[in-house]
Amino acid sequence: MFVAEKMMMMTRTRTTTTVFTNSRSKRSERIIIKRLRFRRRAKVEEDKEEVFDEIPVLSGERFLQLHREKSTPDDDDENCLQLAMYSSHVRAITTDSESFVMKVDDHGFHRGHAVFDTVSIDAETRTFQDLDYHLDRLKTSAEMAFLTFPKGLESLDSLARIVKETVSAAFEEKERRQRGRSPSSSDCCSSMMQARFYLTAGVGGFSLSAKECAEGSNFYCVVIERTKAETTKALRARTTPIAVKNKPFSNIKSTNYLQNCMITTDAEMHGADVGIWVANDGKVLEGPSANVAFVDDRGIFIAPKVDDVLDGVTMRRCFEFVEKGLLADVGVVECERRDCSFRELVLERRAKECMMIGSVVQCVPIEKWDDVDIGRDEGCERY
């Protein structure tokens, strides 16, 4: 106890940073800044330079004004339109994309104490793809992450209502933006709408404990539309060297996606489209944002056990398709969850087909994995 107390006192008092606290602090600060001011020049164009002076201290109003000016205008990025957002922190929806913000002291941001899910929307029929499944998975992830829903939003029906109203506002905003707009290159491509919803521990302080989140948790819903070109390009996969997510974290759909981002970057650095986790014992697991499935040499549709990977909603639908006989015309009438051996299916080429399956990618074939051709000579043209 004595050592701990002394260490605490020393860490509080011994510092190498000077803080201006006396009556002459302002004047001293100005003098030091004047004497030590430097200009760091960064080449921004061939004959232009950007000069960085001292950092200004702004009013809140001016700060927010600059933030809005730095935001991406509605039509700047037609590949991903941000259409509507709901925040339980303000209990309202906005379609002003520059106002899609959350507080920096939200524990979902600075501690990653948050879970999320994503549901796809058919823009033509305005229908959801398995919204109930996605909300149910959000609830499961929340329970595993020790998160509760905001007051008044404890039921999945109340969350569904918010998602639907936010999507309705998004469609109205999309129509508003399209009125009077000249056709663009993105109009020749198909689009995919998504509602992405997040549950965070809430705002208040910067510690680890959610006890300081006095107002409780926050629920956010953001609706976006992504443009995708019509393509049948199959993927090149790489077995990632990035550490595998272990249980229970592999079964929680949290916002902690550092490993997922590293997998993607590593794959791109090595000329691949996607990285895939393979366990130390050789079992195929999943990709950074989608599940993996195979059709083996017996014509059986197989995927890793849900004990080892996130229980994908789109994968569930694919199993239902097989069980209902909807893939009988292509020779697939059986399906099973089992250990998927990388050596057996990929290296020994016993997989007739391999694919990534998820809410975002839907279903995309893999034609090559670690320089091994998948499907022998069958190719991927039928996709």
Check: CB of residue 301 under 8 Å from CB of residue 327: yes
Band the pLDDT of 1: cuts 50, 70, 90.
low
28-57 b/e (C-beta count within 10 Å ≥ 16 → b): eeeeeeeeeeeeeeeeeeeeeeeeeeeeee
Three-class DSSP category at 115: strand
pLDDT of residue 64: 86
Start-end of CATH 3.20.10.10 domains in the chain:
235-373
pLDDT of residue 65: 87
pLDDT of residue 4: 61
Q: 81: closest CA among 209, 184, 213?
A: 184
Peptide bond into 288 cis (omega under 30): no
The 10s digit of each residue's pLDDT in 292-321 is 999 999 999 999 998 878 888 899 999 999
Q: 195: closest CA among 176, 229, 172, 169?
A: 169
CA distances from 2 to 5, 7, 8 (A): 5, 9, 10
Of the listed 139, 174, 245, 253, which one is catalytic?
Answer: 253
Amino acid at 356: M
CATH for 77-178+187-228 is 3.30.470.10
The 10s digit of each residue's pLDDT in 160-170 is 999 999 999 99
Q: pTM of this prediction?
A: 0.79
Start-end of CATH 3.30.470.10 domains in the chain:
77-178+187-228
pLDDT of residue 128: 92
Band the pLDDT of 12: cuts 50, 70, 90.
low
Residue 113 DSSP symbol: -
Q: DSSP states of 232-263 as a string? A: -PPEEEEE--SPPPPTTGGGS-BS--HHHHHH
Report the pLDDT averaged over residues 79-91: 92
CA distances from 78 to 181, 197, 230 (A): 12, 22, 16
253 in catalytic set: yes
Which CATH number is 235-373's, of 3.40.50.300, 3.40.30.10, 3.20.10.10, 2.60.120.260? 3.20.10.10
Q: 371: closest CA among 355, 347, 339?
A: 347
Residue 249 has pLDDT above 50, yes or no: yes
Residue 132 has pLDDT above 90, yes or no: yes
Pseudo-torsion of CA 339, 344, 350, 354, nearest 10°? Answer: 50
Check: CB of residue 357 under 8 Å from CB of residue 293: yes
